[in-house]
């Protein structure tokens, strides 16, 4: 998922969302990540089943190759929503494991309109492959043609972090406004995820202390921007950045990540679920 051609080229094909070959999105059950199912609470006559739709990159996708035998946070959240509302929840995980970026999601959004229009709860996770650090020339620096490593980390500074986040804000505004418009006037849970830092603590990147600090600057700006944009369009923001990386963003994600140090481990999926549940279930419960 780290669309950083440079790290992926020498390590596991994995941040910013471009994790491997294209896979067909699947709808996983609440107890597994390999088959379709619904999250079913205790019997209730309180209404028709609720639809939970997730869109985004491979972080919500939860491929069994990234995290074997893991239960994705999308389905765990479906279980929690079912318990909170006393209604059956039908998860529909439409996230994508093809290196999906924000611009490509916007291009394909019309194809998701029917599912979004019928969704009672929507989770959007599209941060991992779109951040400045995952571009071909992060902050205007070049990449070493032999190692794929960033050649000039001094260009990754606060000014670049602020500038690059601001440049992507209009696209996030467009995404969130279009998704919210699909459910205008209907009671709907809308949640957006920001991005945790899977650079700090990565053994494959082997960053210096200064380089690690520079990645924090970028994640600070981007994760705050995503939350600001989401809230401006009636979304709640699931702040998984600080849940994974601590209040300053400097803490390594550690065992919250799977072996590829990009996708959430089971512990990481559990933590994301906790953040989602802590947002509450209004206006559905």
Q: What is the CATH number of the domain that holds 166?
A: 3.40.50.1110
Domain, as residue range, for 26: 5-278
Cα 136 to Cα 134: distance, rounded to the nearest angstrom: 7
Residues with pLDDT less than 50, the chain: 1-45
**Residue-level pLDDT at 18:** 37
The whole-angstrom separation of Cα 169 and Cα 159 is 15
Q: Output the pLDDT for position 9.
A: 33
Please tell me the pTM assigned to this model: 0.85
Q: Does residue 283 lie in a domain region?
A: no
- Flag whether 150 is in a domain: yes
Indicate if the alpha-carbon torsion angle 194, 200, 203, 206 is positive or negative.
positive
Q: Are 223 and 194 in contact (CB under 8 A)?
A: yes
Closest to 219 measured CA to CA, from 105, 150, 133, 129? 133
Residue 111 lies in a domain: yes
Domain count, the chain: 1
Predicted confidence at residue 46, as pLDDT, reads 62
Residue 28 lies in a domain: yes
Domain presence at residue 253: yes
- 5: tokens are 């051609």
285 within some domain: no
Provide the pLDDT for residue 42. Answer: 45
Q: In this predicted structure, what is the pLDDT of residue 2? A: 47
Domain annotation covers residue 94: yes
- Spatial neighbors of 105 by CB under 8 A, at least 6 apart, are 55, 56, 96, 126, 175
Instruction: Say if 284 falls within a structural domain.
Output: no
> What does the pLDDT read at residue 29?
37
């Amino acid at each position: 998922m780290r669309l950083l051609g440079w790290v992926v080229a020498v390590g596991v094909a994995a941040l910013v969302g471009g994790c491997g070959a294209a896979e067909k999105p699947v709808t996983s059950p609440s107890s597994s990540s390999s088959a379709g199912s619904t999250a079913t609470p205790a019997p209730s006559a309180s209404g028709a089943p609720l639809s939970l739709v997730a869109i985004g990159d491979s972080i919500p996708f939860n491929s069994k190759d990234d995290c074997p035998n893991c239960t994705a946070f999308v389905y765990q959240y479906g279980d929690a929503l079912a318990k909170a509302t006393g209604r059956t929840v039908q998860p529909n995980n439409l996230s994508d494991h093809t290196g999906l970026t924000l611009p490509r999601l916007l291009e394909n959004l019309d194809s998701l309109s029917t599912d979004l229009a019928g969704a009672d709860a929507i989770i959007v996770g599209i941060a991992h492959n779109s951040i400045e650090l995952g571009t071909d020339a992060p902050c205007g620096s070049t990449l070493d043609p032999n190692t794929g490593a960033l050649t000039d980390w001094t260009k990754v500074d606060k000014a670049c972090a602020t500038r690059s986040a601001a440049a992507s804000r209009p696209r996030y505004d467009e995404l969130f406004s279009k998704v919210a418009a699909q459910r205008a006037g209907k009671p709907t849970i809308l949640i957006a995820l920001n991005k945790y830092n899977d650079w700090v603590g990565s053994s494959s990147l082997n960053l210096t202390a200064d380089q690690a600090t520079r990645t924090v600057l970028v994640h600070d700006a981007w994760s705050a921007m995503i939350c600001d944009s989401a809230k401006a369009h009636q979304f709640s923001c699931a702040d998984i950045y600080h849940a994974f990386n601590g209040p300053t963003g400097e803490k390594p994600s550690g065992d919250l990540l799977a072996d590829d140090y990009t996708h959430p481990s089971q512990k990481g999926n559990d933590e994301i679920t906790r953040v989602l549940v802590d947002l509450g279930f209004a206006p559905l419960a």
